[in-house]
Structure 1
């Protein structure tokens, strides 16, 4: 089983990487169930020098491609020589707080990354035989409160989200719109019934949208975490709420990573769903 991980140098992606690599035992009967990975990293040394991951690199279970998730050429390198079963993307811009408000280092990272990935996947579909190389499942981390889900979040959080997270949520809105349009199961958001679910032309031009094939991805999961609180060990799963209309406030990155690995990957759940997770 092979997974491409985007955004694995830190946060959710790094914890997913650790969990997948250690999830199968070392016995001969279990080796066929072990995950191997391809990581697309701007700074490979962050993982190459990691004492936890280095043994897996030496075993050949971790392959590193140097590049950027917004580059189609770099993404194509990730598919070379492997049959990809799964893609997990947790890329996102890094916010910093300044006296003038929140500054985002790469405000269009999710938008550009999604465009590039979908271009590569639609080429992958046309160039390979579907019976032999079906399109991989795609799991992407978004955010609670995006588009048509804004009205579902707790009332106390709505003003905070609208004021504090406008720019990063614009980026996530484009990510979700493009994925839902390319999915065979999600309906494309309708501007007449829900204009808030449509990215503005100034952010995502229609010419770009129409460069991407619609209705071709068979298995998509868009994970919508609550607002990230203080990092720490994951709390018991029984304490968390998960559901497409769950009303939650905060979540830890470790809890999102565990949900992705345990519920989405190992149990195969939440295919073609938009689960919200938090406490």
Structure 2
């Protein structure tokens, strides 16, 4: 796929994490133009080079913006590709787990509100730049976010053996994901379409993530069990590489209309 025949542009947040990183790699290999926000750009470029991408590909297709996802100005620079609003936003942000002396909440995050705070920044940034673009739905970006099972309002999507881990030990990290999802849902429920800054939002709730930053380390996206919030796919673990490839194949590479406004649950 060449960039000439494919005008889609993508902005990434949390691209040094395994899921979003894998989506980023597949997007670059397919010829997409990409922007990515990173606190340490050299870390991201090193990850990509180590996975076999060429410096020529990075120079031609990737723009890395140094900054913070909670800073509106940094987010705005990431959302604008050559002066135009990107077509798709992929956010895989999440904090680093931190152990604490607490029986009820033994695991917290280095930034317990990173998902909610960055989502707020993305919406604020979109609002500031939206006046420069057509207000029609066709010109608004699609947002895809990576979340987690265990926070569903529907049927239980976590196997019995993992429920204590998810609902008790990981309560703090999961609350941040829940807030992020709530913010996006409320935004898209605004009855005034002109005030909605996104053409659609798609959530990806993955079971317990395994593996690191290596887009080749998964079993393959076609091997995954896929469900919805209403009929979740229930399982124990999933490779980050597989989550990222599924996002690319199903939500970036082709028209994701069947997933518009929905939440996908993924597991191995």
Global fold match (TM > 0.5) = yes
Q: Please report the RMSD computed on the Cα atoms of aligned residues, expressed in angstroms.
A: 2.5
1:274 aligns with 2:266: no
Select 1:177's aligned residue among 179, 182, 189. Answer: 182
Q: What displacement does 1:97 show?
A: 4.5
Comparing 126-135 and 73-82, the one that deviates more? 126-135
Aligned partners of 2:90 and 2:144 also within 8 Å: yes
2:58 is aligned to 57
Q: How does 1:31-110 map to 2 (within 5 A)?
A: 34-50=31-47, 51=49, 52=53, 54-59=55-60, 61-80=61-80, 81-97=83-99, 101-110=106-115
Q: For the residues of structure 1 that align with 2:137 and 2:175, how far apart are their CA atoms?
A: 37
Instruction: Write the mapping of 1:1-279 to structure 2, written as runs, cut at 5 A.
Output: 1-23=8-30, 34-50=31-47, 51=49, 52=53, 54-59=55-60, 61-80=61-80, 81-97=83-99, 101-131=106-136, 134-149=139-154, 151-184=156-189, 215-231=196-212, 233-244=217-228, 245-269=232-256, 270-279=259-268
Preserved contact between residue 90 and residue 140 of structure 1 (Cα < 8 Å)? yes
Q: How far does residue 98 in structure 1 lie from its aligned partner after superposition?
A: 6.2
Q: Distance in 2 between matches of 1:40 and 1:246?
A: 31
- Structure 1, unmatched stretches of 5+, are 24-33, 188-212
In the alignment, what sits opposite 1:193?
Answer: none
Q: How far apart, CA to CA, are the structure 2 residues paired with 1:214 and 1:144? A: 30
Structure 2: gaps spanning 5 or more residues = 1-7
Which residue number in structure 2 is paired with residue 208 of structure 1? Answer: none
222 and 82 in structure 1: CA distance in 2 versus 1, 3 angstrom threshold: same
Decide whether aligned partners of structure 1 residues 43 and 276 sit closer, same or farther in structure 2, where only a CA change above 3 A counts. Answer: same
Query: Does the CA contact (< 8 Å) of 2:108 and 2:173 recur in 1?
Result: no
Kept after mapping to 2: 8 A contact 1:40/1:64: yes
Q: Which whole-Å CA distance do the structure 1 matches of 2:156 and 2:137 have between them? A: 42
Q: CA deviation at 1:82?
A: 2.9
Could you give the per-residue CA deviations for residues 41-100 of structure 1, whole angstroms, max 9, x where no partner exists? Answer: 1111113445336322322x1111111011111111123413411100001001144676
Deviation string for 1:114-173 (max 9, x for gaps)? 111111223333442235971111100011111414734333322221111111011001
TM-score (norm 2): 0.81
Q: Normalising by structure 1, report the TM-score.
A: 0.78
Count of aligned residue pairs for this structure pair: 242
Stretch deviating more after TM superposition (125-134 or 163-172)? 125-134
1:265 Cα offset (Å): 1.2
